[in-house]
Amino acid sequence: MEFRVISIGALAMNPLWGERSPVRAGHATTTLVRTGKSVILIDPALPAQVLLPRLQERAGLKPTDITDVFLTRFSPEHARGLAAFSRARWLIHGTEREQVGVQLATALKDLLTRKESQGGVAKDESLRDVLENDVALLSRCEPAPESLADRVDIFPLAGVSPGCCGLLISHPRHTVLIAGDAVPTQEHAEQGKVMQGALDLELAKASFEESIEIADLLVPGRDNVFVNPTKKPF
């Protein structure tokens, strides 16, 4: 069993740093888990031309070595490099797949049927291309099973998004939680804060508390791995 961070993520705007508007390109932390024959990449957030060299540098792997890609949530900031792993199985929590799929389908339908003041169909080709690409990517994602591999289980953390979901990795001596945006950064964990803009604030708080309760090590959505500040050293 091995896990390692391939790329450290970042928030476009971190209110805990006093930021009130986006100051950088947001992207999720990308993590690799290897166990048995499974090689699982979580949140391929960077564009392929950036992510693939990092994958080789950090783990000596090619895209074809990845057996599974898991998305903690579906957004551009989590999946910019997803298409580079065409031979892998793409996985996402079933709730996220279903509810985000409805949102995308509705947005695409509205775009195609919206009338301009002159009575014609509005044609925003750029937005249409984005929506159609997102629909195609999400359609290829499969609902994740409860266990992705030996000692690697999904851990639902809804709130930031409808089906935000982490991965729980069980070691003999400690537990690792790849928490995604349920725990954005180490500072959020230390200050008891959830991600700004959560879809359901109360549910996000409950998922945050559950993450802190169960994990010895946390891989946050937008930061490097850290020891749970509420746990004793181990």
pLDDT in tens, 90-132: 999 999 999 999 999 999 888 888 755 344 444 578 888 999 9
How far is residue 184's CA from residue 5's CA, in Å, rounded to a whole number? Answer: 15
* Helical ranges in 34-116 per DSSP H: 48-59, 76-79, 94-113
Q: pTM above the 0.85 mark?
A: yes
Query: Going residue by residue through the chain (234 aa), what tens digit of pLDDT does each one get?
Result: 899 999 999 999 999 999 999 999 999 999 999 999 999 999 999 999 999 999 999 999 999 999 999 999 999 999 999 999 999 999 999 999 999 999 999 998 888 887 553 444 445 788 889 999 999 999 999 999 999 999 999 999 999 999 999 999 998 889 999 999 999 999 999 999 999 999 999 999 999 999 999 999 999 999 999 999 888 665
Distance CA 71, CA 144 (A): 10
Asked if 39 contacts 68 with a C-beta cutoff of 8 angstroms, the reply is: yes
pLDDT at 118: 40
pLDDT value of position 172:
81
pLDDT on residue 231: 82
Rounded Cα–Cα distance for residues 227 and 223 (Å): 12
Strand order in the sheet with 68-71: 2-7, 30-35, 38-42, 68-71, 89-92, 142-143
Would you tell me how many other CB atoms lie within 10 Å of the CB of residue 19? Answer: 13
CA angle 56, 59, 62 (to 5 degrees): 45
Structure confidence at residue 185 (pLDDT): 98
